[in-house]
Amino acid sequence: MSAATGSGLPEARGAARLLDIRDLHVTYATGEGGLPAVRGVDLTVERGQIVGVAGESGCGKSTLASTILRLQPPSATVTGQVLFDGSDILTMRWGALRAVRWAGASIVFQGALHSLNPVHRIGRQIAEPIETHLPSLSESRRTARVGELLEQVGLDPDRARSYPHQLSGGQKQRVMIAMALACDPHLVVADEPTTALDVMVQAQVLGVLSDLVRDREVGMLMISHDLSVLADLCDKITVMYAGRVVESGPAKQVFAGPLHPYAGALSAAFPRVGDPAARFAPAGLPGDPPDPRNLTQGCSFAPRCARAAEECLPAEPPLETYDDGRQAACVRIDRTHRSSSGVETPSVETHRSSSGVETPSVEPVENPGETP
């Protein structure tokens, strides 16, 4: 596996996590001063684990994704640590960084439908990173590898000779995933991989992703604004708002019983089909997602929060960790382990069924995602 890198990436240490982001701050330099996109984020991903990052536009999730591979423009200020297998990506030497890019960690970008070069065949585009990282590989071995990758994502190997415009949206997305796997990375970052896809194709793509994680012990960081998709696929969910983490915990729990009011709103925005409470009761938040340039004093969510009070105003609430390991950054939550609706959330045990879909072994909570 790590033979793919071949240039100094340290062997995976037993103790080191696959990805450990510590106190990351990313500020873009614009004409009118700094734009703080990420304001102190901690995040970890283990091998074989899928971690979801949920949030909307302006929350900093895409910035987070591209920072993992140090893809920020030089004018951006980045502080903190991004430890990949123990080594800090932000301070790596150029050679080591190049080795990590794609062979250690890869990204499936948002808007995959537009990320493919329309004038090259897709086989060639998938082979490109292989060529870069394994220049010694022969032509025939490369072609064989491309065929393998296409099969892994559920496409016919003959499709390597097609041009992007001959593929459908779902197929293009799968090509992007194949490309991300080309060099056998340990970590795959997927930025809104199913956003533009139909629900059936989305199910197929998510199936591919979860099989991947299960079969190859790959770690995955999945970014989406759709909390229900994340709840289905991920082990752990981190919710971001205005550049900070506002809630973090096991996926099913966060979706079914969110602590932070914003996480609650996000969860309610995707009503469960079949839930009588969601009939003719669309739930949304007033106002708009925050502009990173104009953040208010105190809790950045306060302007839109139904539970905002005096205590929310002086300072940004810190991320508190509760007894069961869940975290939330809200001063209006009861300190004992209670959800913000006052209902105690039971712990939900999960099993992975053979199709890779998690099925809870306990009854889901009565009023999921209700914001008081």
Note the residues at the interface with another protein (CB under 8 A): 56-57, 168-171, 198-204, 207, 225-229, 231-233, 255, 262, 265-266, 268-275, 278-286, 288-289, 304, 355, 357, 359-360, 364
To another protein, the closest distance from the beta carbon of 229 in angstroms equals 5
Pair 259, 27: CB distance under 8 Å: no
Residues forming a β-bridge with 245: 240
Residue (115 or 195) nearer to another protein, CB: 195
Residue (1 or 357) nearer to another protein, CB: 357
CB atoms within 10 A of CB 352: 12
To another protein, the closest distance from the beta carbon of 186 in angstroms equals 26
DSSP 110: S
To another protein, the closest distance from the beta carbon of 282 in angstroms equals 4
Residue (46 or 56) nearer to another protein, CB: 56
Residue (100 or 285) nearer to another protein, CB: 285
Termini Cα distance of the chain: 49
Q: Is the dihedral of CA 82, 87, 90, 91 positive or negative?
A: positive
To another protein, the closest distance from the beta carbon of 90 in angstroms equals 29
To another protein, the closest distance from the beta carbon of 24 in angstroms equals 23
To another protein, the closest distance from the beta carbon of 16 in angstroms equals 32
Residue (145 or 174) nearer to another protein, CB: 174
Closest CA to 1 of 188, 184, 153, 252: 184
Residue (3 or 273) nearer to another protein, CB: 273
Pair 305, 261: CB distance under 8 Å: yes
- The Cα 238–Cα 147 span in angstroms is 35
Beta strands in the chain (DSSP E): 19-30, 33-45, 50-54, 77-84, 87-88, 105-108, 187-191, 219-224, 236-241, 244-250, 320-321, 327-328, 350-352, 358-360
